[in-house]
Amino acid sequence: MRLPSTTPLLIVDVQNAIDDPKWGPRNNPQAEGHLAWLIEAWRRAALPVIHIRHDSTENASPYRPGQPGHAFKPEVAPHPGERVIGKEANSAFVGTDLEALLEDDGVTHLVIAGVLTQNSVEATVRHAGNLGFQVYLVADACWACDVTDLSGRIWPAEDVHALSLAHLHKEYAEIVDTATAGQAALITAIMRARRNATRAG
C-alpha cells in the first residue's frame, strides 16, 4: 500500500447519532479507537483529513441538523482547517462538491473509514471506485449493525460487515486494517521529507 502525498482520509458519518438504539447491535467496538489513531496518524504525516457529515432532511432522524446526534463523536472531532462536507444522501459524492475538491487537489487515492459499513461507507466506496479513485477501506475502523431481511431473519452485525467488505474488495476497493493504513501514511511522510531535503540540498 503506497500513498501519494495528496491522499486524504475520509471519515464518514461518525456522529453521535450512530449511538441511537434504533440502529440495533453493532460489531467492532474498538472502531472509535482505531479511528482516533488513524486520524492522528494522518495529522502527524501532514496528510489531509476530510470529515463527511450526514445532514438528514428527515424530521425524526437523529442525524438531522440541530439534534444532539448531528454533532461529530469526540474521537473524530475536526481540527481547525480540516474540511467538513455535509451530505444528504448515502454517498458522500451525491449533492456535494467532494469530487471537484478532490480533482482540484490532484487526488488519485482515497482512504475511507466510518459508518455504517453496509450503508454510507459502502455507497461512498462504490461511488469513488466508479469515479476511478484507488480506494483503500479500513475495515477495523468501520462498523455495521444488525439487519433484518425481508423474511424477518436477523443478520448479525459481524456478518453484515463481512459481507459488505466482501462485495467491495478488489471490485471497488482494497480492504486494509488500521495498522497498514497508518504505516502507509508514515512512509508517505518520510518519503516527502526526503524529497524536500534533496531539493533543499
Which pLDDT belongs to residue 201?
A: 62
> H/E element holding 135?
strand 134-143
Distance of CA 186 to the CA centre of its chain: 19
* Average pLDDT over the chain, rounded to an integer: 97
CATH number of the domain that residue 89 is part of: 3.40.50.850
pTM of the model: 0.96
Number of separate domains in the chain: 1
Q: Are 121 and 115 in contact (CB under 8 A)?
A: yes
Q: Are 144 and 182 in contact (CB under 8 A)?
A: no
- Tens digits of per-residue pLDDT, 110-159? 999 999 999 999 999 999 999 999 999 999 999 999 999 999 999 999 99
Strand partners, 175: 137
Task: Please calculate the CA angle 103-138-22 and round it to the nearest 5 degrees.
Answer: 105
Neighbours of 187 (CB within 10 A): 14
Structural domain includes residue 134: yes
Structural domain includes residue 164: yes
Structural domain includes residue 152: yes
Structural domain includes residue 63: yes
Structural domain includes residue 1: no
Tell me which residue range forms the domain holding 112.
Answer: 9-200
Structural domain includes residue 2: no
Structural domain includes residue 4: no
Structural domain includes residue 44: yes
**pLDDT per 10-residue tile (average), the chain, 201 residues:** 96 98 97 98 98 97 96 97 98 99 98 99 99 99 98 98 98 98 96 84 62
